[in-house]
Amino acid sequence: MNHLVAAPLLLPLLTGAWLVLGVDRPIARHRAFSLAGCLALTLITGLLLFQSITGPVQVYVLGNWSPPFGIVLVLDRLSAMMVFITALLGFLSLVYAVHGTDLEGKNFHALFQFQLLGINGAFLTGDIFNLFVFFEIMLLASYGLVLHGGSGPRIRAGMHYALLNLVGSSIFLVGVGILYSLLGTLNMADLAVRIIQAPESSAALIQAGGLILFAVFALKAALLPVCFWLPAAYSFTSAPVAALFAVMTKVGVYVILRVFTLIFGDHGAAGANLLAPWLQPAALITLAAGTAGLLAAQNLRRITAFLVIVSVGTLLAVAGTLEQDAIAAAIVYLPHTTFMTGGMFLVTDMIAQQRPDAGAKLIPDQPVQQQTLLGLLFMGTAIAIAGLPPLSGFFAKVMMLIHVQYYSGSAWIWFLILFAGFLGLIALGRAGSIIFWKTLPVQNINSAEGAGTRPSRLPVFGPIYVLPAAALLGISPLLVIFGQPMARFADTVAAQLVEPVLYIEAVLGLERAALFFAHTGGL
């Protein structure tokens, strides 16, 4: 076994535990230890991503208990890509946080590490119940991070977020219990084999269990109608936390793709193609609702939060066709949208700090002090998010539109993706024009709406402070430069999803994979 597969869990776990035990130590030690842990995690997950590209699916069996009875971690190309995205986004967000955000309350760095633990565990686990466990770790840490700093609006948003997700966790256990009572296992690969052997009499209950799980995963992904927690939670929390949370909704997207191609795909017998009537309509409605939120928002932070909802709707509208080429195109779009929305949260925070009266509100205020720097960062990130050339959003969206053109619902997908991009550009352009052009003379600001006491000196951001946002924006042209290898990688990821026999063989062995192959006719 490759012990590095467990490192994305062990490293943040041990780092977070050390930080909790040393909570009263100087903040400089916390920062150094946390940054070192995140940097090591980024390097290790990068190595795991390389191994997944050049080698087979890797399985790590904890305690040497053979599947399906033991706890397993599974590293294939999709999970390797997701843990690397999480580690890189987490490291850059933390670099931004150590400039002062981490001073707003105790245990920020420990909570940040436990958040990484929960997210990475959700991507790597090969077991439905352990998926629930990692969801809970992720959510408990996120509750603390959302509430970090303790302002009134932040507490209200955090309470709504916590209560809704506690309800989701309870429902999750109901779905897990139904599947276990009918199929006798919670190992995902074993569920894929056993569901094709399930009697016809249990089909209705299996479908009910699968749809209950989908409701929970839709909550995590922020699909309509369970997406209303996201704008407030993401817009009121601190910028580095919101940037990290850009990948948290992708946990829901990932799990929907993993579970409903592996267990409830074409081969799923009683649960075959369970999401076909539900996933794409929900995604398209989410895309439309997110776009409407963009136009209605009067705060740049809230606009960025709605961009996260738009990205989820776009991803699942395309991947919801459940066709290999369309899933591959969505995989190309996924890292782009995660990094760009994360970067926009950081850019928004820097802009708000240099607008002492308006902050992130879209009302006139004095010019930002570093107008050229922040203007370029905002414009570049906005262009990437809106999908304009020459950045990666344009090429990813073109690829998605090409690969869904022969699907029966392609007209709706084309219309909503293009219309959402156009309206997103309008919303971001309006925000940029108010912030950078519709400024007030300094002597008139104290009479403006929302005026407050002006600080004697506005913050000036040095290169290290700006580095995380600039680095995230810099990923976009890299995705264009390496577009062809990325497209080939996405093709293999999609093939592993829609043809899960290699996944099953890696986890359960050749005999069980052969049984699956025989029942499905080689799907």
- Tell me, yes or no, whether 113 lies in a domain: no
Write down the pTM of the prediction. 0.93
- Tell me, yes or no, whether 520 lies in a domain: no
User: Hey, is 286 helix, strand or coil?
Assistant: helix
Cβ contacts of residue 376 below 8 Å, gap of 6+?
Answer: none
Other C-beta atoms lying within 10 Å of the C-beta of residue 444: 11
Other C-beta atoms lying within 10 Å of the C-beta of residue 30: 21
- Tell me, yes or no, whether 247 lies in a domain: no
- The pLDDT tens digits of the residues spanning 71-98 come to 899 999 999 999 999 999 999 999 999 9
- Tell me, yes or no, whether 384 lies in a domain: yes
As a dihedral over the C-alpha atoms of residue 8, residue 14, residue 20, residue 25, rounded to 10 degrees, the angle is: -110
- The pLDDT tens digits of the residues spanning 389-418 come to 999 999 999 999 999 988 878 899 999 999
Output the pLDDT for position 2: 85
- Tell me, yes or no, whether 451 lies in a domain: yes
Range of the domain at 422: 277-481
For residues 387 and 399, the answer to whether their CB atoms sit within 8 Å is: no
For residues 44 and 7, the answer to whether their CB atoms sit within 8 Å is: yes
- The number of distinct structural domains making up the chain is 1
Overall average pLDDT of the 340-352 stretch: 95
- Tell me, yes or no, whether 295 lies in a domain: yes
- Tell me, yes or no, whether 68 lies in a domain: no
Q: Lowest mean pLDDT: which of 76-80, 246-250, 312-316, 361-365? A: 361-365
- Tell me, yes or no, whether 179 lies in a domain: no
- The pLDDT tens digits of the residues spanning 295-337 come to 999 999 999 999 999 999 999 999 988 889 999 999 999 999 9
